[in-house]
Structure 1
Amino acid sequence: MHVKKWMYISFVLSFSILLVACSGPKQEESGNNKQQDADIEAAAAKETAGLAARAVLVNSQGLKVGTVDMHQTDKGVEMTLKASDLPPGLHGFHIHEKGLCEAPSFESAGGHFNPTNAKHGFDAAGGPHDGDFPNLEVTADGTAEATFINDRVTLAKGKKNSLFQEGGTSFIIHAKPDDYVSQPAGDAGDRIACGEIEKMSTATSQ
């Protein structure tokens, strides 16, 4: 009787030890994986922290009419535009695929920045382009101020949607509003201002 009881107790103890041995490393491994994920996220945040850029907008006569200041956030690239001496009304506003602003037509900037080969326009099936924005409103005195956050692009180099591609990228302001659906550029008309996107440190951008 006592022998059987002792054998039963020994079996329970052995089984308990086995469970502890098996569960311990798995829990530790799970904890390590979580820590590794946290380290990766922290490294990514550190890599993009402080990334900033600026585009100086010029008109068809080559005269400066404004700036677009950009900095990387965890929600995307925040862009603040300040401009003057523009025609009042709504204007198409986009990022273009080349960083080359040759006046007066600015055709040198190429088409819209569209690394995913999407359709143009917020109202188009399969849209928008990564470089699409809401229309820019210019007031009666010819000035415009607007802030956008674009989560489809990044200032981190080496990524498909980075604004720092070989050959650069640029901003274009068009003569007419973007209708958000016409291909390939929203029927927004002539290019009336252009600004090449250039990297800069946070310190120099302030």
Structure 2
Amino acid sequence: MKKASIFVISLSLLSIVSCKNEKKTAETTEAKPVETQVQTLKEVVVNLMAKSESNVSGTVVFTEENGVVNMKATLSGLEPGEHAIHIHESSDCSSPDGSSAGGHWNPTKQPHGKWGAETGYHKGDIGNFTADEQGNGSISMSTNEWCIGCADETKNIIGKGIIVHTGKDDFTTQPTGDAGGRISCGGIIE
């Protein structure tokens, strides 16, 4: 009988200690803070101004979400046919011919080429688009190789310029793609 009483007392003590340990574990688990990451949408609208005595104007909208920048350019006043559009080194569009925007934006020192080419391309080598018979055109693209206002200077498009050219980019002529004169310019600024 004594052995049975000791056994019951031992079991009771064991269950009390066990409950206390479970309670401590539960309290510790509940006390941990939960971290959440909030993604914000960034947007920059660029107004394009006519250059080189053209009538070309339009807007370029850049939006960034979850590390991807989307670009949508809408233009008017163009000659029908193909035209090149590039990001250039500077947002300075003060010169009458757009030359104040500098050369193509090329922070990684690659040769000029078609976007995504294995042989290399400038971060500003967007490409060509077609203007219709009324002189209207548009182009869109998405990339994780750009950012809006981040600290990575090889990706940050803020402070750069958008240039629309009279001709199309041949994707081979260095360093410009032989795209012709600059007929529209806009600064990418916040």
TM range (shorter): 0.7 to 0.9
Identity, % of aligned pairs?
33
Quick one: which of 128, 131, 141 aligns to 1:148?
141
Quote the residue 1:77 is aligned against: 69
Instruction: Output the CA distance in 2 between the equivalents of 1:125 and 1:149.
Output: 18
Larger Rg: 2
Quote the residue 2:119 is aligned against: 126
| TM-score normalized with structure 2 length | 0.73
Quick one: which of 108, 114, 117 aligns to 2:100?
108
Cα deviation, 1:103-158, whole Å, max 9, x if unaligned, reads 42111000111111111112876311111112021111001122211332111321
> Are 1:189 and 2:180 an aligned pair?
yes
User: Unpaired segments of 5 or more residues in structure 1?
Assistant: 1-38, 200-206
Cα RMSD (Å) of the superposition?
2.2
Quick one: which of 37, 49, 58 aligns to 1:58?
49
The answer to whether the Cα contact below 8 Å between 2:55 and 2:78 also exists between their aligned partners in 1 is no
Structure 1 stretches of 4+ with a deviation exceeding 6 A read none
The answer to whether the Cα contact below 8 Å between 2:55 and 2:77 also exists between their aligned partners in 1 is no
How do residues 1-206 of structure 1 correspond to structure 2 at under 5 angstroms?
43=37, 46=39, 49-60=40-51, 61=53, 65-74=57-66, 76-122=68-114, 126-160=119-153, 161-164=155-158, 168-199=159-190
Cα deviation, 1:158-195, whole Å, max 9, x if unaligned, reads 1121012xxx1110001110001111010111111111
Quote the residue 1:23 is aligned against: none
User: Unpaired segments of 5 or more residues in structure 2?
Assistant: 1-34
- Equivalenced residues, count: 154
| TM-score normalized with structure 1 length | 0.68
